[in-house]
Amino acid sequence: MTVLRIDKLRTTLRLGGRDCDALREVSFSVAEGETLAIVGESGCGKSMLAMSIMGLLPAVARISEGRVILGSRAIEAEPESRMEKIRGAEIGMIFQEPMTALNPVFTVGSQIAEPLRDHLGLSKSEARKTAIELMERVRIPAAASRFESYPHEFSGGMRQRVVIALAIACRPKLLIADEPTTALDVTVQRQILDLLDTLQEQGEMGMLLITHNLAIVAGHADRVVVMYGGDVVETATVRDLFRAPGHPYARALLASLPRVDRDLSELASIPGRVPPLAMLPDGCRFIDRCPHAMDICNRMPPTVELGEGQGHTVRCWLHVEGGEHAADG
Amino acid sequence: MTHSTEVKRADRKAYKPGRIAIIIGATIIAVVLLAAILAPWIAPHDPYVQSMLARFRPPSAEYWLGTDRFGRDTFSRILYGLRITLWTAAASTALAMVGGTAIGILSGYCGGRVDRWLSAANDLLMSFPQMVAGIIIVALLGPGVTNLIIAIAITAFPAFYRMARSAALALRDRDYIDACRVLGYSDTRIVARHILPETMDDMIIIATLWLATAVRTESSLAFIGLGAPPPAATLGGLVREGFDNLLDYPGLAIWPSLAILVVMIGLNLMGDGLRDANDPRASA
């Protein structure tokens, strides 16, 4: 069953009196129990995408086209009062920075209990009991005695566990994890990701894992959406992406990973940088950095399906007309 | 080990002045408050009964601080004056605190146009010197204790508004407030549960400091004849009455002035002490 479907989503920012598309024709879906990774470098629209789904866009941004369908309901145009009931209850979210995501003046327990009381209407004692269960589920040791602790008494990894407990408190259908481990030590990263995997299996949540870390994608995602400059350039299963990336950007991204079986003296990188939002080209947005750029790339490329029914799609002119140019990469 | 004990000792040292000030201030205020509350029982004379035979008596065993030109006991009148003065100050400060905090948080939290208009209105209010604003408002509303309370509350409003606004403005952009939005809390809930409680410490400290200012404003307004109408005894009113016979009987103006002084010292000590005790930099 599909938990979330994004259909031709366009999010527009008004900058200096001009409309710029921060997201263009973004489409993908997340199934129950599936982890979909969104990969891309800074400024590719990953966080803008998360905020579009949550209905928490800044005042200068708006969804100008397309749909966000949660379960079977379109939520992109829901009024704020309805979104307040959806956020935290049906969609949970985890942030990058666990050190500042908790209110320093309230106990950890009372903060975990708050969404339970707000969304599920539990009584104070029920909420307390459920909060302690949640703390146990995210494997906070001695949960009952740490209920009264304050956030500053917790380490970064423990705080991220609290943030996760908050996000899953109301058993959401969808969990958005925006760079959930970027601020953590590598050893703790692993623990947190494993925890997320376990929780997801238990709750059959769909998970949207936003990251720039390909190692995390390989280890914890089922499918991947590669984004560049606000476009979805490639959608594939993790296996397909790592074996046969189709888009020049995805290829370059994978080629820049250091590999144990190759010479490490030279780290590959992609020349150039992401153009600023106001200067993004109208056609393919990778055009200035792409080794295969052609005249036709000044037009928006279509989405092309690779293989048969594997859901591997690429948005690139190289693959149009049977993909005769695709091989020379 | 040595390091931690040193830190502890330094902490205690830095903390002490604030605490002593709070204790002295609170003691003074407690005594004054008790005197005001118990006035009907402890006042040796009725503050309003005149006696032509007992005019301008010097301090004595019967009239502790002497009598005024109508033969009323000055000490009793000061006790009763404390009642009106303290009540006026407390009520107006409470009113200003509630109003200023509510509108200040609204302004800071909403931001944008709401904030611009409210801040502009507040700046306009602040541009009047406090006394001038007080005089204008009393003149507009007319005399009487209730109107006096409203007038003083309006003059004290900007202090609370500004503090609450800046606190809300700073808190609004914290990550954990964003996290609240992501958890689907309504604005009302965010303000009531996560912003208001964090501003309360500051607001209570300002309130203590502004109590002293309110006492002063009340006394000043009473002194220029805009306080509670006679024969009511207020501290400022007593100074004013005493002022008429200042050269012959200076005590009539000096005793109530001293009472005002004591009240203000008590409130200021307590307010400053609370502020120091609450200032994270003071213990660094």
Look at residue B17 in the predicted model and tell me its pLDDT. 59
Domain assignment present for B152:
yes
Domain assignment present for B157:
yes
Which residue does chain B place closest to A104, by CA atoms?
Answer: B176
Which residue does chain B place closest to A93, by CA atoms?
Answer: B182
Q: Could you list the residue range(s) of the whole structural domain that residue A260 is in?
A: 248-329
Calculate how close chain A gets to B181, using CA atoms only, in Å. 8
Tell if the CB–CB gap between B176 and A100 is shorter than 8 Å: yes
Tell if the CB–CB gap between B197 and A105 is shorter than 8 Å: yes
Length of chain A: 329
Using 50, 70 and 90 to split pLDDT, how confident is the model at B5? very low
Look at residue B273 in the predicted model and tell me its pLDDT. 85
Average pLDDT over residues B153-159: 91
Using 50, 70 and 90 to split pLDDT, how confident is the model at B283? very low
Tell if the CB–CB gap between A95 and B175 is shorter than 8 Å: yes
Look at residue A266 in the predicted model and tell me its pLDDT. 67
Domain assignment present for B284:
no
Which residue does chain A place closest to B185, by CA atoms?
Answer: A84
Sign of the four-CA dihedral A153, A155, A158, A159: positive
Calculate how close chain A gets to B178, using CA atoms only, in Å. 8
Q: How many CB atoms lie within 10 A of CB A202?
A: 12
Whether chain B has a CB inside 8 Å of the CB on A87: the answer is yes
Chain A residues with CB-CB distance to B182 below 8 A: 54, 56, 87-88, 93, 95
The model's pLDDT over B180-225, given as tens digits with 9 standing for 90+, comes to: 988 989 999 999 989 998 888 889 888 988 899 999 988 888 888 8
User: pLDDT below 70 — which residues of chain A?
Assistant: 262-266, 308-309, 322-329
Residue B239 maps to which CATH number?
A: 1.10.3720.10
Q: In chain A, which among 115-134 make CB contacts under 8 A with chain B? A: 115, 118-119
Chain B residues with CB-CB distance to A102 below 8 A: 176, 179
Percent of chain B at pLDDT above 90? 27
Look at residue A329 in the predicted model and tell me its pLDDT. 41
Calculate how close chain A gets to B179, using CA atoms only, in Å. 6
Domain assignment present for A274:
yes
For B18-35, the DSSP string reads HHHHHHHHHHHHHHHHHH
Q: Tokens 């200012």 correspond to what residue?
A: B213
Chain A residues with CB-CB distance to B197 below 8 A: 105
Tell if the CB–CB gap between B184 and A114 is shorter than 8 Å: no
Average pLDDT over residues B101-111: 93
Chain A residues with CB-CB distance to B183 below 8 A: 87-88, 114-115, 118, 166
Look at residue A52 in the predicted model and tell me its pLDDT. 92
Chain B residues with CB-CB distance to A118 below 8 A: 183-185, 189
Whether chain B has a CB inside 8 Å of the CB on A101: the answer is yes
The model's pLDDT over B64-93, given as tens digits with 9 standing for 90+, comes to: 777 777 778 888 888 888 888 999 999 999
For testing contact with chain B, the best of A96, A99, A118 (most B CBs within 10 A): A118
Chain A residues with CB-CB distance to B179 below 8 A: 95, 101-102, 163, 166
Nearest residue, CB atoms, B184 vs list A59, A89, A100: A89
Domain assignment present for B7:
yes
Tell if the CB–CB gap between A86 and B184 is shorter than 8 Å: yes
Look at residue B249 in the predicted model and tell me its pLDDT. 80
Domain assignment present for A243:
no
Q: Domain count for chain B, please give it.
A: 1
Look at residue A112 in the predicted model and tell me its pLDDT. 93
Look at residue A187 in the predicted model and tell me its pLDDT. 85
Q: Could you list the residue range(s) of the whole structural domain that residue B218 is in?
A: 2-278
Asked if residue B4 has pLDDT above 50, the reply is no
For chain B, the DSSP string reads -HHHHHHHHHHHHHHHHHHHHHHHHHHHHHHHHHHHHTHHHH-SS-TT---GGGTTPPS-SSSTT-B-TT--BHHHHHHHHHHHHHHHHHHHHHHHHHHHHHHHHHHHHH-HHHHHHHHHHHHHHHHS-HHHHHHHHHHHH-SSHHHHHHHHHHHHHHHHHHHHHHHHHHHHTSHHHHHHHHTT--HHHIIIIIIHHHHHHHHHHHHHHHHHHHHHHHHHHHHTT-SSPTTS--HHHHHHHHHTTTTT-THHHHHHHHHHHHHHHHHHHHHHHHHHHH-TTTT-
Look at residue B280 in the predicted model and tell me its pLDDT. 62
Q: Tokens 């040595």 correspond to what residue?
A: B2
Calculate how close chain A gets to B278, using CA atoms only, in Å. 15
Domain assignment present for B39:
yes
- Average per-residue pLDDT for chain B: 84
Calculate how close chain B gets to A227, using CA atoms only, in Å. 23
DSSP state of A274: P
Look at residue A66 in the predicted model and tell me its pLDDT. 92
Cα atoms in the Cβ-side hemisphere of radius 13 Å centred on A308: 0
Look at residue A322 in the predicted model and tell me its pLDDT. 56
Domain assignment present for A71:
no
Look at residue B284 in the predicted model and tell me its pLDDT. 37
Q: Domain count for chain A, please give it.
A: 1
Asked if residue B282 has pLDDT above 90, the reply is no
Domain assignment present for B81:
yes
Torsion angle, alpha carbons of A283, A286, A289, A291, to 10: -80
Helices B2-37 and B251-278, packing angle to 10 deg: 150
Look at residue A233 in the predicted model and tell me its pLDDT. 92
CA-to-CA distance for A304 and A321, rounded, in angstroms? 10
Length of chain B: 284
Calculate how close chain B gets to A108, using CA atoms only, in Å. 12
Which residue from B178, B183, B186 is spatially nearest to A167, judged by alpha carbons?
Answer: B183
Using 50, 70 and 90 to split pLDDT, how confident is the model at B1? very low
Tell if the CB–CB gap between B182 and A118 is shorter than 8 Å: no
Calculate how close chain B gets to A122, using CA atoms only, in Å. 15
